[in-house]
Structure 1
Amino acid sequence: MVSQHEFLAQDDPAFQSFFQPGATLERISTGYIWVEGPVWLDDISELRFSDIPNNRMMTWSEEKGTRVFRQPSQRTNGSAVDRGGNMVSCEHGGRCISRTGKDGTYEVLATHWQGKRLNSPNDLVVKSDGSIWFTDPPYGIISDHEGIRADSEIGSNNVYRLDPSTGEVELVAGDFDRPNGLAFSPDESVLYIADSGRARGHGFGFDDSRPHHVRALEVLDDTKLGASSVVADIDMVPDGLRVDTEGLLWISAVDGIHCYTPEGRRLGRILIPEVVANLTFGGSNGSRLFITATSSVYAVETTRKGAERA
């Protein structure tokens, strides 16, 4: 365990109040290659996450500890819970969006856009109307480390909206380099999307000429995106992100979790001793922050709660 004075870096004194008195950073599970895609399932009080290169999904709970949930897992990356309590996931290996029902049933929801196979869906969020918004960078096809090496059929890296009732996949943003994590504001008027273009992918290092920021895009008519602006420029490269009930952004980056206001002011960081991939809120009251970082999963109690879809 790591004490508060060791893992918190404050830009604003208020950041200290976002954590329970005496809160510690705890490593709750370890032994992975590259751990990603944490999602909390409230119905069963379990955290699921992916060990992508090992092609498996794991599950963790206070009562039972860590177990294998699915192997092989099609190198699943980001996941979320839909309106029915089912898990929807981005698969690098399957190059698709899938759904795992509460009863264990599995189905593929989308594999193509305009007749062309998706690159490697990376992360997603479910809107209150049930639509699934997801990013599709090439990280799962540029090498065999996180997916299966292949050429892109689409030729670009985009953000899409999937209507699960019709199966229609609609492009909502085509001007990103490598779109990654995403999250809606609490009232769903804004969609935040990370662009991790600076990170070239496994073994390819960094390209300083490419983007490393989070953009805020206006949501129009529930199905389209409008004007956008950069709200966080993170040199350490943003990856996953979540929004709490008061609209603050919690963004994973190489060195830890960065917390920003919607206006773009950084309040502080949670420093993690491994390269961070993603995060999610969960636990019995929704205020425990789970962080996936290279070989381990970490957790810390906060005074915040993740924003939920109405």
Structure 2
Amino acid sequence: MVAFAAEFEVLDERFAGVGGDHVVERIHHGCRWAEGPAYVAAGRYLVWSDIPNDRMLRWDEMTGNVGPFRQPAGYTNGHTIDRQGRLVSCEHGNRRVTRTEHDGTITVIADRWEGKRFNSPNDVVVKSDGSIWFTDPRYGIASDYEGHRAESEIGVDQVYRVDGETGEVTVVADDFVRPNGLAFSLDESLLYIVDSHRAHLRVFDVDGDALRNGRLLAECSAGSFDGIRLDTAGRIWASTHEGVHCLDPDGTLIGRLRLPEKTSNLVFGGLKRNWLFMTATTSVYAIMTNVRGA
């Protein structure tokens, strides 16, 4: 394990008091493009994707050991944990969203919309009603590096909702160039969605199974946003090319934590949800904070 000095930069008084350890730990190194961290509380481990190597890796919190979780893995990207503690995954290679059951079997949640294969599902969240919401840009079919080169059957990059009971797939947003990370507000009245191509973050009102009133919330000042998560105060933690940015719910950049590599995604974990795990290019970093993930 490698550690280096950490500095939470306060850019706005609303970030004052937010901090944590004085060091960032690199808990793993050796990926080609690390992505999609998810913390499995029942097993006290972190799982993430190493997309070009077509594998998922697992870090054990109790021992600090890293080992394979699944390989091949369908070139998985983003993951989340549903309300039953099951792993929900976006697979670039198989162009689908799946769920890993408690016995290890894999259930296909969705792989088509109106009979056409998805592009390459990227990131996913699960709402309290059991519905699954995910983004579907073309990164995984643009080349053989993060999936399998192919033409888009749908022709556009959209955001989808899968009904948790019927499995019906509907489009909830169709005006993105490359939709990416997404997260619900604490009360699920809002859905935040990144458009990495436009380097901005938008917010929508959640109206049942639809989205309304999409508007620009923030533009990234360091490359582009990617994965996002919220803390219990409703602040948005976003991965960027220089590390992690923290945004107030009104979109103001209020603080940041720099990392030595381009950051792809992040998740809060640990027993108190106060460990911030960050996937960044070849590595996975962790820091204990004094805030808790939502």
TM-score normalized with structure 2 length? 0.96
Q: State the match for 1:232 in structure 2.
A: 218
Q: State the match for 1:38 in structure 2.
A: 37
Q: State the match for 2:172 in structure 1.
A: 172
Match of 2:253 among 250, 266, 270: 266
Per-residue CA deviation, residues 92-145 of structure 1 (Å, 9 max, x unaligned), is 001000010122111211110011110000000000001000000000000111
1:207-286 equivalent positions in 2, closer than 5 A: 211-221=198-208, 223-235=209-221, 236-286=223-273
Give the distance between the partners of 1:304 and 1:146, measured in 2 at CA.
33
> How big is the alpha-carbon RMSD for the aligned residues of Structure 1 and Structure 2?
1.1
SS at match of 2:23: coil
SS at match of 2:52: helix
Give the distance between the partners of 1:108 and 1:196, measured in 2 at CA.
26
Give the distance between the partners of 2:55 and 2:215, measured in 1 at CA.
36
Per-residue CA deviation, residues 60-81 of structure 1 (Å, 9 max, x unaligned), is 0122310100000000000011
Q: Give aligned pairs, total.
A: 290
1:18 aligns with 2:5: no
Give the distance between the partners of 1:115 and 1:271, measured in 2 at CA.
43
Per-residue CA deviation, residues 252-310 of structure 1 (Å, 9 max, x unaligned), is 01111110011111111110101111000001210110000011000011111121xxx
- After the TM superposition, list the runs of 4 or more consecutive aligned residues in structure 1 that deviate by more than 6 angstroms: none
Match of 1:291 among 271, 278, 282: 278
Match of 2:4 among 2, 5, 15: 2
Give the distance between the partners of 1:93 and 1:44, measured in 2 at CA.
27
Give the distance between the partners of 2:19 and 2:60, measured in 1 at CA.
21
Per-residue CA deviation, residues 23-58 of structure 1 (Å, 9 max, x unaligned), is 311101111100000000111111000100000001
Identity of aligned residues (%): 50
CA contact (8 A) 2:35 2:48 kept: yes
Give structure 1 stretches of 5+ with no counterpart.
Answer: 198-210
Per-residue CA deviation, residues 133-177 of structure 1 (Å, 9 max, x unaligned), is 000000000011111000000000000001132221110000111
How far is 1:189 from its partner? 0.4
CA contact (8 A) 1:12 1:267 kept: yes
TM-score normalized with structure 1 length? 0.91
Give the distance between the partners of 1:23 and 1:86, measured in 2 at CA.
33
Q: State the match for 1:207 in structure 2.
A: none
Give the distance between the partners of 2:291 and 2:195, measured in 1 at CA.
25
Per-residue CA deviation, residues 165-218 of structure 1 (Å, 9 max, x unaligned), is 222111000011110000000000000000011xxxxxxxxxxxxx11000100
Q: What one-letter code is carried by the residue in structure 2 that aligns with 1:26? A: E
Q: What one-letter code is carried by the residue in structure 2 that aligns with 1:152? A: S
SS at match of 2:150: coil
How far is 1:18 from its partner? 1.6
CA contact (8 A) 2:46 2:61 kept: no
1:118 aligns with 2:85: no
Q: What one-letter code is carried by the residue in structure 1 that aligns with 2:24? A: L
CA contact (8 A) 1:23 1:301 kept: no
Give the distance between the partners of 2:200 and 2:264, measured in 1 at CA.
15
Q: What one-letter code is carried by the residue in structure 2 that aligns with 1:159? A: V
How far is 1:16 from its partner? 5.0
CA contact (8 A) 2:129 2:164 kept: no
CA contact (8 A) 2:24 2:287 kept: yes
SS at match of 2:4: coil
